[in-house]
Amino acid sequence: MSAKPDAAKIRPATIADLPAIVAMRDRLNVLERRGCPHAAIVPLTLAQFTAMWGETFTSPAHCWRVVEVAEELVGFGLIYLATPRTTPPGAYIHWAYLEETQRRGGLGRKLVDEMLAWARAQGGARVELQFIDGNGIAERFWTKVGFRPYARKCVRYLGDASGR
């Protein structure tokens, strides 16, 4: 059952949330690969993820959020000020994820509204994001909350001559 947005708490994430965040990222990646097997998604262990992202938990240019229902983590989001920094700055939503049982109840919109409010408070003029081809739910969601596509992302793997 999806929780009512009011029953969920969205709070800043801490380093202690990393194991749950990495596990949710793994589940997101499974969903994404189902839609696009050639997507350039790099699996990360908890240690690798922590080495890459750990410092950003205390960075003023990053806004990590987790979603809690009944004291359990059921979602997470990350938005940050994009670099190179422009004036006014742009922001980038890197993740917005809810566990399957928590979807379609308005929580996703609440999480995104909170990240957009953070970007506005930083003086942000625009927010960008990407989602993997074949993730139809993401496409419908992002369209509904006001995002419009403007570019294509491509990959060529270097492991063999065909690039596949």
Ligand X SMILES: CC(C)(COP(=O)(O)OP(=O)(O)OC[C@H]1O[C@@H](n2cnc3c(N)ncnc32)[C@H](O)[C@@H]1OP(=O)(O)O)[C@@H](O)C(=O)NCCC(=O)NCCS
Considering the rule CB under 6 A, would residue 98 count as an interface residue with ligand X? yes
Residues 6+ away with beta carbon under 8 Å from 150: none
Q: Which is nearer to ligand X, 57 or 95 (CB)?
A: 95
Tokens of 63: 């806004």
DSSP secondary structure, 5-48, as one string: GGGEEEEE--GGGHHHHHHHHHHHHHHHHHH-TT-------HHH
Q: Which is nearer to ligand X, 120 or 140 (CB)?
A: 140
Q: Which is nearer to ligand X, 53 or 141 (CB)?
A: 141
Mark the segment that binds ligand X (CB under 6 A) among 52-60, 91-99, 115-123, 155-163: 91-99
Q: What are phi and psi of 94, to 5 degrees?
A: -90, -35
In whole angstroms, give the CA distance from residue 75 to residue 69: 9
One of 140, 149, 153, 157 touching ligand X (CB under 6 A): 140
Considering the rule CB under 6 A, would residue 90 count as an interface residue with ligand X? no
List strands edge to edge, sheet with 8-12.
8-12, 62-69, 72-81, 90-98, 126-129
Mark the segment that binds ligand X (CB under 6 A) among 34-42, 55-63, 120-128, 137-145: 137-145
Considering the rule CB under 6 A, would residue 34 count as an interface residue with ligand X? no
Chain residue whose CB lies nearest ligand X: 108
* Residue ranges in contact with ligand X by CB under 6 A: 28, 31, 96-98, 103-109, 131, 135, 137-138, 140-141, 144
